Structure 1
Amino acid sequence: NDTYPKRRGVTRVKELWQNGLNVSFGHDCVQDPWYNLGTGNMLDVAYMGVHICQMTGIPEINACYQMITRNGAKTLDVEDRYGIEVGKPGNLIVLDAKNPFHAIRKRATVKYVFSQGKLLAETTPTKIKFVALT
């Protein structure tokens, strides 16, 4: 019975995941009239999921990473094309992060983008120079 703007709920992600169900996060709005803040960056989606679903422990954060990667492939029924193996299409990104926790925490920069095994884009990391205060 809400008037506008309507509240949005979230399903029991943590409980579904803990019970072995395939849970995946998605994002459909990329700068469109319904949500103009969308970037298409799934790390943003995972970051929000970690907080909204109260999944801030390391195993839970890792699970949220899986929800935007492997679990998403399972939901979309493209598992046969997912992963880095001979015979797979070679569509992937390489993040500037040492593990899923750091990827989500820092919303890591995409260093490389590959499509069909060919490098499409490369990001040069920003350099930060600290100077002494006097």
Structure 2
Amino acid sequence: MSGINFVANPLVNIHLQGRFDTYPKRRGVTRVKEMLEAGINVCFGHDDVFDPWYPLGTANMLQVLHMGLHVCQLMGYGQINDGLNLITTHSAKTLHLQDYGLSVGNAANLVILPAENGFDAVRRQTPARYSIRHGRVIAETVPSQTTLHLTQPEAVTFKR
């Protein structure tokens, strides 16, 4: 392999590419599925955050992954689970980050999601519960609770 890396920006690419076309409109994103199958390192990015080019940008990488899985047609359970690599390990490889991941001796830089597994996090778009940098909590989100009030109050979790 040549050591080349590709970054797709699904949210911005889907919005900007082909916007001046007549119908049918092109909706461009690179060939993520095919490159993954060929063993090429591909990751997802978020090009614009709350600016004139993409005013809906939030820098939430789970949103990026969710859209990317849809537009790249990576909707098999294995593809969805493996898709998390597109915003984690594949991104770290693209950025040449050393000592990345959860291993003894690595920097404690991580995000904790209130999800049963990666598939659950992507499906429910769970907000980060904690953001940790160098072993210290730098941001915390209090989980929301949805309750149905039909015959008696019942919590809704959207879990299986």
TM-score by length of 2: 0.75
Does the Cα contact within 8 Å between 2:18 and 2:28 map onto a contact in 1? no
CA deviation after TM superposition for structure 1 residue 133, in Å = 5.3
* Aligned twin of 1:23: 42
Distance 2:129 2:30 in 1: 33
CA deviation after TM superposition for structure 1 residue 11, in Å = 1.5
Distance 1:3 1:27 in 2: 18
1:89-100 to structure 2, matched below 5 A, reads 89-100=107-118
Structure with bigger strand share is 2
Distance 2:18 2:148 in 1: 50
Distance 2:83 2:95 in 1: 17
TM-score by length of 1: 0.88
- The amino acid across from 2:65 in the alignment is A
* Aligned twin of 2:146: 128
Q: Which runs of 4+ in 1 moved over 4 A?
A: none
Change (3 A) 1:132 1:121: same
Stretch of structure 1 that moved more, 30-39 or 83-92: 83-92
1:88-127 to structure 2, matched below 5 A, reads 88-127=106-145
| Percentage identity across paired residues of the two chains | 45
CA deviation after TM superposition for structure 1 residue 3, in Å = 8.2
Unmatched segments (≥5 aa) in structure 1: none
